[in-house]
Amino acid sequence: MAEPSTTLSPASSPDAPAGRRAGIGDALRALELDTRMVGMIGALAVVWIGFDILTGGAFLTPRNLWNLSVQTASIAVMATGMVLVIVTRNIDLSVGSILGFTGMVVGVLQARILPEIWGFDHPLTWVVAVMAAVAVGGAVGALQGAVIAYLGVSSFIVTLGGLLVWRGAAWWVTTGQTVAPMDGLFKRLGGGFEGAIGAGPSWAVGIAAILLSVAAILVTRRRRAGFGFPVRPLWAEGVVILLVAAAIVGAVLVVNAYPLPIPVVRRMMEAQGLTTDGGLPFVAHGFAIPVLIALAVGVGVTFLSRRTRFGRYVFAIGGNPEAAELSGINTKRVLVMVFGLMGALCGLSACIATARLNAATNANGTLDELYVIAAAIIGGTSMAGGVGTILGAMLGALVMQSLQSGMVLLGVDAPMQNIVVGIVLVAAVYIDTLYRKGLK
Amino acid sequence: MTALATSEPLTATRPLVEMRDVSIAFGGIKAVDGVSIDLYPGEVVGLLGHNGAGKSTLIKILSGAYAADHGEIRVNGEPVHITSPRDAKRCGIETIYQTLALADNVDAAANIFLGREKLTPWGTLDDHAMEAEARKVMGRLNPHFRRFKEPVKALSGGQRQSVAIARAIHFDARVLIMDEPTAALGPAETQQVGELVKQLKQEGIGIFLISHDIHDVFDLADRIHVMKNGKLVGTARVADVTKDEVLGMIILGKCPPGAVPGPGAAG
């Protein structure tokens, strides 16, 4: 149900000249779209439309899609890092526990330590908390990475140990006490109506994203043409730009169609000294801050993986560890960095999860490792290493969250939800295997 | 140990590479035992021996994949310390491994520049510049090659070989190590590699050719070193020995009159 379609003919010769002959295959080739990605988006569309029909139109509402995006954010952030971990032929089973541990650390930091230094609701509290979470998570991840790379213990074992160690450490921070509430500004990282940026800024973000995408596409085209390399035909560039723009505008329209609750709008108006007699205006949520964080992380990690030496080495190690070593790459250092990045992203996710819950609990993030790994795998990351995309993993997270959210709307019991997600994971990997065989 | 008097060098210059009295053991077994070999500029030296004779191990010491337990390596007369592939490359020693050692999941340009990427002024990968240079060097080796956007696992054996060779020669190699360069190739591609060896030789590059195909070696090499059981049986100019005599060196360790015997020579 939620898996890439294999009916599209794989684009096997991207270097081929643009086909003048009419034919959908040629047209798709000219677009140089990733057929697996198209398949995933198709699968997501099937899931969404299917649930919308089954729930009688309750799924594809601005409200549900907005919530869906917020619920996906924390897993999506970690899934980007998990792609790199799995690409290097490793695994990280400790991400949920690292999230729990760093969540407790930021909870204690902002609710107990920082208020003693500069009082409650200091404007810098959230900044220090986020930086601490990223630093602590990064240090934990790098420590595990060092054991894996330099002591030669397999990542499965090290992070299985980490799963127990950091969950225990999370309890140790407060000997099990829940810490609440969180700092006012920090809370906005978790979403909710305070954590949404409103209609105008959402348009600004959307337009900026479109302009950046267009600029990136055109700069690449000019560079390739400058070297005399084959480029996509102009109409194909136009179609790609249109698709990107349509997706972004669509997202902005959806988040801007979800109004803030009436009591909140009334309170806001009263706070500004406005009368509410003439009826209440429509005030939109706009993008949720955790979603923007996740998208920024997605862009950032994609950049790392595609445009930097570090990313090139990560993929080379996954493709052939021996060759990477013989090329003079310091593979051990790269591994430490990959696990360090994974840990830092867990720290960021801990902020989102803790802020959303408005409390730091030692059980936060339990079982997240499984969802994160599943998201990366459903998103096309190969357990054999060397293959995976950040965008795919984020879509994988969205597919899984969509399944769960849809089943909640349908009133499916939690155990049944797990059964469905588990089956979908296995089926997705099976179909992906068939797809890869078809490519050969 | 026996200083290997290579009668007179082919050219009057000093050796490009000398390995003196090199040994390495794995778990008590001496894979390479007191071997001394040398290589002069513009010379092709064949390294012959059975499977397990120690030739690949010896060459992996020179390319930095293994660190020798004992012995000395000199490049242009200067003693050098080679403990990693990076060190070897810094000395101008490039290797084409039998396994090719390609990262299968990335494209030709990424493989050619692996570990030595070209960067933009912002420190990001300059894939376009790398592709442009890859097209140039591949054009020299394999003019019909067009598949620059595909991961190398999709390429044919010969194309993959070209990528591995391109990676070795693109960075001004002075010494080229070719480990079984034609093992996976068809006749046409084998001939192509032969042409390339002659061309590189003319450019003054020294080449170590490791092979168990004695015909290949006789076609291309100026001199041969033969190894058996980790030891050097002897050294000879190709012109001074017959193929049968060399087979005798490989199989029996018997050194013919035309060759200079090493520590591993029988009798």
Mean pLDDT of B49-59: 88
Structure token pair of residue A86: 């799995």
CA dist A239 and A234 (Å) reads: 9
CA distance A344 to B186: 50
The answer to whether the Cβ–Cβ distance between B85 and A326 falls below 8 Å is yes
Sign of the alpha-carbon dihedral angle for A199, A203, A206, A208: negative
Q: Identify any residues that bridge with B177 across adjacent strands, giving them in sequence order.
A: B95, B208
Query: Is the pLDDT at B2 greater than 50, yes or no?
Result: no
DSSP string, A159-224: HHHHHHHHHHHHHHHHTT--B----HHHHGGG-TGGGB--HHHHHHHHHHHHHHHHHHHHHHHHHH
Neighbouring C-beta atoms of residue B111, cutoff 10 Å: 27
Residue B132: list chain A partners with CB under 8 A: 227, 229
Chain A residues touching residue B65 (CB < 8 angstroms): 325-326
pLDDT tens for each residue of A314-332: 999 999 999 999 998 999 9
Phi, psi of B194 (to 5 degrees): -60, -45
Which residue's entry shows tokens 């630093």?
A: A135
Distance from CA of B1 to the nearest CA of A (A): 31
> What are the extents of the domains in chain A?
34-196+288-439, 197-287
Alpha carbon separation from B230 to A424, B31, B227, B251 (Å, rounded): 55, 5, 6, 13
pLDDT for A66 equals 96
pLDDT at A160: 97
Whether A72 and A401 have beta carbons less than 8 Å apart is answered as yes
Measure B247 CA to nearest chain A CA, in Å. 32
Query: By a Cβ cutoff of 8 Å, what residues of chain B touch chain A?
Result: 63, 65, 84-86, 89, 95, 97, 99-106, 110, 114-117, 119, 123-125, 128-129, 131-132, 146-151
| CA–CA–CA angle A71, A77, A83 (5° rounding) | 125
Burial class (CB in 10 A: 0-12, 13-18, 19+), A80: buried
- In single-letter form, the type of residue at position A362 comes to N
A150: tokens are 């330099």
Model confidence pLDDT, tens digit, residues A335-354: 999 999 999 999 999 999 99
| pLDDT above 90 (res A246) | yes
Nearest Cα neighbor of A189 from A68, A67, A354, A79 is A354
Least confident span in A284-298, A332-346, B205-219: B205-219
A 324-353 near B (Cβ less than 8 A): 324-329
- Report pLDDT for B9: 46
Q: Classify residue B152 by its DSSP letter.
A: G
Interchain pair B149, A14: CB under 8 A = yes
∠ CA A383-A385-A387, nearest 5°, is 100
Joined tokens for residue A385 = 């290493």
Average pLDDT over residues A233-244: 90
pLDDT higher than 90, residue A6: no
CB B103 to CB A320 under 8 A?
yes
Instruction: Supply the pLDDT for residue B50.
Output: 86
pTM: 0.88
Separation of CA A234 from chain center:
31
Q: Which residues of B touch A387 (CB under 8 A)?
A: 105
CA distance B175 to B40: 9
Higher pLDDT, B211 or A61: A61
- Residue A328 has its nearest CB partner, among B97, B104, B115, at B115
Chain B hits for A323, CB-CB cut-off 8 Å, are 99-103, 114
Shortest distance, CA B116 to any CA of chain A (angstroms): 8
* pLDDT level of residue A258 (50, 70, 90 thresholds): very high
* Structural contact between residues A170 and A101, judged by C-beta atoms closer than 8 angstroms: yes
Residues from chain A that touch B102, judged by Cβ atoms under 8 A, are: 320, 323
Q: How confident is the model at residue B109 (pLDDT cuts 50, 70, 90)?
A: very high
Helix (H) or strand (E) holding A20: none
The SS3 assignment for A284 reads strand
Contacts of A322 in chain B (CB under 8 A): 99, 101
Residues of A in contact with B119 (CB under 8 A): 309
User: Would you list the DSSP string of B98-132?
Assistant: TTTT--TTSBHHHHHTTTS--B-TTSSB-HHHHHH
Q: Between residues A439 and A223, which one has the greater pLDDT? A: A223
Task: Determine the Cα–Cα distance for residues A254 and A101; give it in Å rounded to an integer.
Answer: 35
- H helices, E strands: number in chain B: 8, 11
| Mean pLDDT, residues A208-236 | 90
Contact A426, A377 (CB under 8 A): no
Mean pLDDT within B65-79: 91
Which contacts (CB < 8 Å, 24+ apart) does range A210-213 have?
Answer: A210/A244, A210/A245, A210/A248, A210/A249, A213/A241, A213/A244, A213/A245, A213/A248
Q: Is the pLDDT of residue B136 over 50?
A: yes
Chain B contact present for A437, CB below 8 A: no
Q: Looking at the complex, report in whole angstroms how far the Cα of residue B28 sits from the nearest Cα belonging to chain A.
A: 23
A184 is written with which tokens? 């006012």
Position A22 scores a pLDDT of 53
On average, the pLDDT of chain A sits at 89
- Output the CA torsion B216→B220→B223→B228 (10° steps): -20
What is the radius of gyration, based on Cα positions, of chain B?
Answer: 19
Judged by CB atoms closer than 8 Å, whether chains meet at B85 and A223 is answered as: no
CATH number of A34-196+288-439: 1.10.3470
Closest chain A C-alpha to B168 CA, distance in angstroms: 10
Q: State how far residue B238 is from chain A, nearest Cα, in angstroms.
A: 32
> How confident is the model over A222-248, as a mean pLDDT?
89
∠ CA B8-B14-B20 to the nearest 5 degrees? 85
A228 to chain B, closest Cα gap in Å: 9
State the Cα–Cα distance between residues B113 and B126, nearest whole angstrom.
Answer: 11
pLDDT of residue A406: 94
Domains of chain B by range and CATH?
Answer: 17-92+172-261 (3.40.50.300), 101-157 (no CATH)
Residues A300-307, mean pLDDT to the nearest whole number: 96
Partner B contacted by A222 (CB < 8 A): no
Give the pLDDT mean for B35-62: 91
The better pLDDT of the pair A10, B13 is held by B13
State residue B214's pLDDT score.
Answer: 85
Q: What is the pLDDT of residues A410-420, one digit of tens each?
A: 999 989 988 98
Look at residue A8 and tell me whether its pLDDT is greater than 60: no
The predicted pLDDT at position A20 comes to 43
CA pair distance A107, A365, nearest whole angstrom? 14
Q: How far apart are CA B148 and CA A69, in angstroms?
A: 38
* Look-up of token digits 């400058």: A226
Encode pLDDT of B157-199 as tens digits. 888 888 998 999 888 889 999 988 877 777 887 888 888 888 8
Residue-level pLDDT at A338: 98
Query: CA-to-CA distance for B234 and B218, rounded, in angstroms?
Result: 16
CB contacts of B115 in chain A (<8 Å) are 324, 327-329
What is residue B10's predicted lDDT score, i.e. its pLDDT? Answer: 47
Q: A309 to chain B: which residues are within 8 Å by CB?
A: 117, 119, 125
| A310: number of Cβ within 10 Å | 16
